[in-house]
Amino acid sequence: MEAAFTTQFSSMQLEEQSLVTATTTRPNASHFRWVICALLFWVTTANYIDRSVFGNLAPEMPAYLHLADYVTNAEISAYASEHASEIVPAHLPLGIDIEDNTEAATFVRGQIARRRWDEAYWNMQMLFSAAFALSLLVMGRIMDVFGLRWGFVFACAFWGLSAMLHALAPEIGVLLGSPLMGFFVCRFLLGFGEGGNMPGAIKATAEWFPRRERALATGLFNSGANVGGLLVPWLLPWLVAQFSLLTVGPIVVGWRGTFIVTGVVDLCWIGAWLALYRKPQDHPRLSEAELEYIREGCEEPGAKLPWRKLIPYRQTWAVVVGSLLTDCFWSFYLFATPDLFNRRFGLSLEGRKYLIMVILVVTSVGSIAGGWLSGRLMNIGCSVNRARKVTLLICAICTVPVFYACLTSNKWVCAVLIMLAASGHQAWKANLLSTVGDMFPKRAVGSVVGFAGFVAAIGMVTLFYFTGKILKVTGNYLPVFILASCCYVLALLLVHLIVPNLDPVKADEEKKLEKQMAYETKEEYRQSFNLTDVRRPRPDRE
């Protein structure tokens, strides 16, 4: 009996050993870390596709949803009395009541539906931003608890299914009392899932790349944001046209099909991620040489600093203020630009796609140029403080003329002004985040950036709330664009007042070390806390 048990146990050990050997057999050479980078690029592209589809469809959604059919006669009469100058010259002959004129009544119904949608749309984006801010706090923790492999799958599956759920949003809304309510639910769910992309991608980069390559890998996968933004206006008109030929019962698929496509892209990525991702030390396709290269310089002393320890530093608040006043405008440009082109120039999905694509292409170039400029200034002898702030000033100046985008009658002038402001923002953001590394030890950078991002998301919620109110009252984006023209200069002024020289902070452990070195021995250092007189510094040594 004992011999049989021993034999069985030995066979189990041999089986386990052979399994471990099989899974850790490695090739002689590899560059598999770039495959992981490609997966991160793919998921970032998909993330921004999901985020951008709704904004690009927004100008046409009142017609798609037939919102004018929900306008009552009482609302028509009230609108006609308040906006008589808009109606009488073009749509309603003098002396004829509006209810007796089909053309005038149709025009008014459309105007009321559009203004109702405007306010609801920006409230949806406000809810999306609030969920995104919450997600920044929750998703990173989920990935720490369940591991990056399954944590990232959870986040992507969550936002992918939420994107697909947009196709049924009107039907969900009917159950809640209004077709629009379904979009509020879907936007919240999408925002809560999408916040997992950046924490997951940064965590994967830290696992799979040595310190010297992390910035390059981050830049490569983050370029998926612009690629995703480019693909949406390019493919969306064709997809809507193709799905408009497809019906399910009495329902024309149309715009709904675009959300199904985005969800399928997300689910395909999940399959690729599960097939290809493992931790570096467990991956059979990774050579020993590449594994050692990835591990080079990966260990950093000290634990991650909690937010409560960062709050007292003025350097933290410089980054927070700079992000709070400016981050919201990048999302505003993404969500508002398609509607602005439709509102001011009557451009359809097809008519505005090239304008939006040009804006995003040049914005990518502007982002890279902003990073290059500050580095170039340092290379020619400028201090870090001067190089960063001169670059930030140039970026802020680029945003000043953007208010005129709401006043010009030329669509290309409008596009160029938004392009200049968006490029300035991306370059601003790159340099503002670089100041975190200038002022904080590496182990605190993630915490500072996360805290600043959370506060900035709250600012985004506030901006979107007031944008909806402004559109409902004025029907014009001009007040928000004026705010965008001023905030970057104001942010730079406040950052300079808070940190005139971008002084590095000294973490608690470094302060203790410096203090301890001022005494002859550790024992003298401990006894110094009990002394009532001034502490004796260590004499200089020859």
In this predicted structure, the answer to whether residue 76 has a pLDDT above a threshold of 60 is yes
- Specify if 137 maps to a domain: yes
Distance CA 17, CA 14 (A): 5
Answer with the one of 246, 274, 296 that is the final residue of a domain: 296
Q: How many other C-beta atoms are found inside a 10 Å radius of the C-beta of residue 509?
A: 12
505's CB contacts (< 8 A; 6+ apart) are: 313, 315, 439, 440, 441, 444
408 near 414, Cβ under 8 Å? yes
Q: Are 360 and 230 in contact (CB under 8 A)?
A: yes
124 and 259 co-located in one domain:
yes
In this structure, is residue 14 part of a structural domain? no
Say yes or no: 420 and 279 in one domain.
no
| Closest alpha carbon to 23 in 286, 411, 237 | 286
Task: Select from 434, 432, 436 the least CA-distant residue to 447.
Answer: 436
Cα(425)–Cα(53) distance, rounded to whole angstroms? 22
- Which residues sit opposite 251 in a β-bridge? 248
User: Residue 60 gets which letter from DSSP?
Assistant: G
Q: What are phi and psi of 252, to 5 degrees?
A: -80, 125
Neighbouring-strand partners of residue 248: 251
The pLDDT assigned to 197 comes to: 87
State yes or no: pLDDT of 326 exceeds 90: yes
Tokens of 388: 């960063």
The tokens of 173 are what? Answer: 């809304």
Distance between CA atoms of residues 493 and 470, nearest Å:
27
376 and 514: one domain?
Answer: yes
Burial class (CB in 10 A: 0-12, 13-18, 19+), 332: buried
Report the predicted TM-score, pTM, of the whole model to 2 decimal places.
0.74
Q: Which CA distances in Å does 15 have to 10, 60, 146?
A: 9, 62, 28
Q: Identify the pLDDT of residue 523.
A: 55
For residues 211-222, average pLDDT: 70
Alpha helix segments (H runs only) across 25-101: 33-57, 61-64, 73-82, 84-91
Q: Lowest-pLDDT range, 55-64, 79-88, 252-261? A: 79-88
Run of H or E residues at 252:
strand 251-252
Whether residue 481 is predicted with pLDDT greater than 90 in this model: the reply is yes
Co-location of 318 and 258 in the same domain: no
In a domain, 20, yes or no: no
Residue 130 CB partners (closer than 8 Å, separation 6+): 188, 191, 457, 461
Domain stop point among 280, 296, 312: 296
Q: Are residues 376 and 475 in the same domain?
A: yes
Which one-letter amino acid corresponds to residue 447? S
pLDDT digits (tens, 9 = 90+) for 111-140: 888 888 888 999 999 999 899 888 877 887
Same-domain check for residues 388 and 482 = yes
Q: Domain range for residue 400? A: 303-526
Q: State the total domains in the chain.
A: 2
Pick the more confident residue, 30 or 242. 242
Q: With a cut of 70, say whether residue 248 has pLDDT above it.
A: yes
The answer as to whether 256 is a domain residue is: yes
Among 424, 354, 351, 391, CA closest to 495: 391
pLDDT of 527 above 70: no
pLDDT of 393 strictly over 60: yes
486 lies in a domain? yes
Residue 392 binned pLDDT confidence (cut-offs 50, 70, 90) = very high
Of 126, 134, 124, 125, the closest CA to residue 158 belongs to 134
> Does residue 436 lie in a domain region?
yes
Least confident of 70-79, 88-97, 270-279, 373-382: 88-97
Boundary (domain end) residue, out of 240, 263, 296: 296
Place of tokens 């914005």: 363
**Whether 198 and 319 share a structural domain:** no
Residues 360, 457, single domain; the answer is: yes
**Alpha carbons 455 and 317: distance in angstroms, whole number:** 11
pLDDT of 368 > 80? The answer is no
Cβ atoms within 10 Å, residue 459: 20
In sequence order, what E strands does 67-143 have? none
Whether the per-residue pLDDT at 285 is higher than 90: the answer is no
**Residues 111 and 149 both lie in one domain:** yes
Q: Look at residue 6 and tell me if it is in a domain.
A: no
CATH number at residue 492: 1.20.1250.20
C-alpha distances in angstroms, 230 versus 263, 347, 356? 18, 17, 8
Domain presence at residue 9: no
For 64-100, letters b (16+ CB in 10 Å) and e give ebebbeebeeeebeebbeeeeebbeeebbeeeeebee
Average the pLDDT over 485-490 and give the result.
Answer: 96
Residue predicted with more confidence, 28 or 189? 189
Same domain, 290 and 174: yes
Q: Is the domain of 219 the same as that of 363?
A: no
**209 and 247 both lie in a single domain:** yes
